[in-house]
A = this chain, B = another copy of it.
Amino acid sequence: MARVVVDVMLKPEILDPQGQAVANALPRLGVTEVSSVRIGKRIELEFVGEPDLDKAREIADKLLANTVIESFTISVADDKGQVEK
């Protein structure tokens, strides 16, 4: 299946209040072993034909990420990792 994944994360130097909020909430759930949390976007692009990584990169650069504050990673979907529920 021709799915390309673009992961967009805030650049490390940019403050991530959302991740911060989650990190702060964890102790209340009894979680102490997580030192930091970053929250970004996972964007799945379904291609009609063959997954086109260069095209995906172009789209990410132009539209999906604002490279002033964000960086992105391109990969072809590999559905490992166990899906829940």
Contact = CB atoms under 8 A, between A and B. Distances in A.
Nearest to A39: B43
A67 B85 contact: yes
B41 A42 contact: yes
Contact of A40 (B29, B44, B75): B44
Given A9-B42, A34-B47, A39-B43, A84 B64 contact: no
A43 B33 contact: no
Number of this chain's copies in the complex: 2
A73 to B, nearest CB: 4
A26 to B, nearest CB: 7
Given A9-B42, A34-B46, 9 more contacts: A25-B63, A31-B58, A33-B47, A33-B48, A33-B52, A35-B46, A37-B43, A40-B42, A73-B79
